[in-house]
Structure 1
Amino acid sequence: MNKQVGFTLIELMIALALGLVISAAALMLFLTASRSQALQQGQASLQDDANFGLNTIIQDIRLGNLNTVQSSINDLSTYGGIVFRSSANAVTVTGTERANLPITLIGGTVAQNLLSRSHGQTVGSAPQWSGISNINTFSSDQLTIQYLPQYIKDDKGTLATTDDVWYGGFDCEGNNLEFTLAQGRQVIVQRYFLRADSNKSDNEPNQPLALACDAGYYPLDGSPTSITGFGDAGQIILKRADHFRVLYGIQNGANYRYVDAATYLALPAPRPRILLIQLGILGRSNQSVGNDSTFSDSQVFQVLDQAVKIKTPAANSPKYARQVVTQTVALRNTFGERGQ
């Protein structure tokens, strides 16, 4: 009789079962690690982009009202750091038209929807302010500022004066602020707003909105008629943002409060001076975090004074991380003459 050596049927079944358990555990670890990596990458990209974009805006806002004659600003302050009015919506005071931009500036580059705007005001169409947002009940805001850079005269290292220029750094689009002596010093105008981004993924759950900045300039001297380079789609400074909110800190005697542009312009004249700006951005990650149940489509976000919900995304769309980033910016160039 020949002896045969091998596994019994029971031993074989036990070995297969153990193999399946070990394989399942390894697969579970892999899937968990993949989800964790996607979540961490999404959160990291969200925080990096939001902080970078917000810091860029803050640095520019602090320039508002720089090198102007009057420190106190409101909607009628000529060359005022926050731009609420132009010739398109100027107010006549004792027979004189008043606005933040020079009255001689006319046409499309000073349209109302290129100025500081907020929810509750009549929207326009892109590339002007359209109020576009991924929020159900509110339109996004727009902030427009102006400032005169601290120019230095650059002689280009030569004794000749024909090549001398005024140099004032860079605007928010990255343009070099370099002007000939014949052009003279230029006042810089910048606006911050949400717009659709053409560079998008196919599976994004809502409109691919980005926070952009559009910059232009006009001469300080003379009677300019338009703002050069202003009124286009601008450059993106925050790749994904679902909502943008701006509030203005105003002082009326001993009282302080925060209001949006629509509320401020509805106040009785003379409107109070502005000392602070509050920014609120609902940022969204560039990368999907999968279908993590932690991120609910019905989540409520508090963006400054607004409690908002994201518009219902397309069915079975991937989840994205979102975070509210806020900042209060003191307009240091407006703090003078407060006792007058």
Structure 2
Amino acid sequence: MTKLQKGFTLLELMISLAIGLLVVSAATAIFLSAQRSLGFQLGMGDVQQNSNFGLAMLTHDLRHANLNTPSNQKINNKIVGSGVIFAQENYPSSLHANLIDDVALSQQNLQEDATTGNSDQLVIQFVPQYQIEEAFDFDPDDETQKINERLVSNTDMFDCEGNSIEFTTAKDGEDTQAIRPTMVQRYFVQKLPTSQQGSDGLDRYGLYCDSGYYSAGDSIITGLGTNAQLLMQHIDAFKFLLGVKNPQNNQLRYVTIDQYKTLMSSITAEKDYLQVISLQVSVVARSATNIGADAGLNNKTITLPGTATAVVFDGDANLNKKYIRQLVTQVVGLRNTLGAS
């Protein structure tokens, strides 16, 4: 007797194959969506971590502006010792002849960046709060013979380049306050080194800080313009606004550097000077890697504070969309102006 063999019919096979294809398609779609979402989240996390860490360092430094300077706690473009440096008048006269404006002064739209415009440069100054200790030098041939007695400063601070701020400030009997050095720090955008550039043709920039110092009677600012430390990678633009207090009504408003200079140019009475009491700093941070196929979702426009038009980035527009960018803004109260009238 012949035994009959049973199996799937052609119709059943076709139905099973169709169902299988639907399941695989759904699983693939979920996988790809999750992958794109992960790439987007990693890019956003990269931007936030970079910008938040960098701005925390920047704002910590900016709060030192005007500390212990001879400006009587005032910040403007006409007084020696102003914590924000606008013009040569904010420096002692001994420095004026050798100042390089593009290094020593805060300026609007000075530095090339990753946009079709330019970024600002911010320059501040302060005198660190020193701890004074006595130090003695002895004759190497006779330790009972004291050669010199000095006051040595130790601030337990570091400048923005990572250098320890320690100076020999005075000999015994000299005026320690008059000889203490003033720190000068500038913040600016600059193209990253070749080793940190990508292969896609888009230039990458970072936010840098350059530090120097001068003492009473010096003719140059030592160290300024010779080195710089990278604070934040992948920064496409850097801008800041000045928080200005009107002495007539004590109202506060934010203006650009050029707007501030224009306002102050018509003011001659010191009692009417517009004093700067805060800074609003902004950076446009870019993700380190692109988000690939998900670029179509990245249609956000960015408008920098103090400007009326959206930022336009250098390079291919479609390629630029593959990078996540975020505007991060921080307001810094300049605590060393609180006593100014």
In the other structure, the counterpart of 1:71 is: 73
In the other structure, the counterpart of 1:217 is: 213
1:54-76 CA distance string (max 9 Å, x none):
12111111111101231122112
1:219-248 CA distance string (max 9 Å, x none):
2x3x11222221145122121222221111
Residue 174 of structure 1, CA deviation: 1.6
1:170-196 CA distance string (max 9 Å, x none):
111221112234696321111111111
Residue 82 of structure 1, CA deviation: 0.6
Residue 327 of structure 1, CA deviation: 2.0
Flag the 1:28–1:245 CA change in 2: closer, same or farther, 3 A.
same
1:243 aligns with 2:246: no
Matching of residues 93-132 of structure 1 within 5 Å: 99-105=89-95, 110-114=99-103, 115-119=105-109, 130-132=110-112
The residue type paired with residue 64 of structure 1 is A
Flag the 1:14–1:107 CA change in 2: closer, same or farther, 3 A.
farther
Pick from 122, 135, 154 the counterpart of residue 115 of structure 2.
135
Residue pair 2:304, 2:311 contacting (<8 A) in 1 also = no
1:74-126 CA distance string (max 9 Å, x none):
1122121011122xxxxxxxxxxxx1122222566x3111210003xxxxxxx
Matching of residues 147-226 of structure 1 within 5 Å: 147-153=126-132, 165-168=152-155, 169-181=157-169, 185-198=180-193, 199-203=196-200, 206-219=202-215, 221=216, 223-226=217-220
1:49 aligns with 2:28: no
TM-score, normalising length: structure 2: 0.81
Flag the 1:312–1:118 CA change in 2: closer, same or farther, 3 A.
closer
In the other structure, the counterpart of 1:275 is: 277
Residue pair 2:256, 2:306 contacting (<8 A) in 1 also = no
TM-score, normalising length: structure 1: 0.81
Flag the 1:107–1:33 CA change in 2: closer, same or farther, 3 A.
farther
Residue 213 of structure 1, CA deviation: 1.1
More helix by share: 2
Flag the 1:34–1:232 CA change in 2: closer, same or farther, 3 A.
farther
In the other structure, the counterpart of 1:331 is: 334
Residue pair 1:290, 1:319 contacting (<8 A) in 2 also = yes
The residue type paired with residue 287 of structure 1 is T
Q: Which moved more, 1:315-324 or 1:71-80?
A: 315-324
Matching of residues 260-339 of structure 1 within 5 Å: 260-266=256-262, 267-270=265-268, 271-292=273-294, 293-296=296-299, 299-306=300-307, 307-311=309-313, 313-314=315-316, 316-317=318-319, 319-338=322-341
1:35 aligns with 2:36: yes
Q: Structure 2 unaligned runs (5+)? A: 139-145, 172-178
Distance 2:6 2:151 in 1: 97
Distance 1:49 1:247 in 2: 22
Identity over aligned residues, as a percent?
35
Aligned CA RMSD, in angstroms, stands at 2.8
Secondary structure of 1:32's counterpart equals helix
Distance 2:125 2:334 in 1: 12
Distance 2:188 2:340 in 1: 31
Q: Structure 1 unaligned runs (5+)? A: 87-98, 120-129
1:25 aligns with 2:23: no
1:142-170 CA distance string (max 9 Å, x none):
110000011113569x9998797422201
Residue 2 of structure 1, CA deviation: 6.0
Residue pair 1:50, 1:325 contacting (<8 A) in 2 also = yes
Residue pair 1:245, 1:281 contacting (<8 A) in 2 also = yes
Q: Which structure's CA Rg is the greater one?
A: 2
The residue type paired with residue 162 of structure 2 is G
Residue 312 of structure 1, CA deviation: 5.5
The residue type paired with residue 199 of structure 2 is D
Residue pair 1:135, 1:308 contacting (<8 A) in 2 also = no
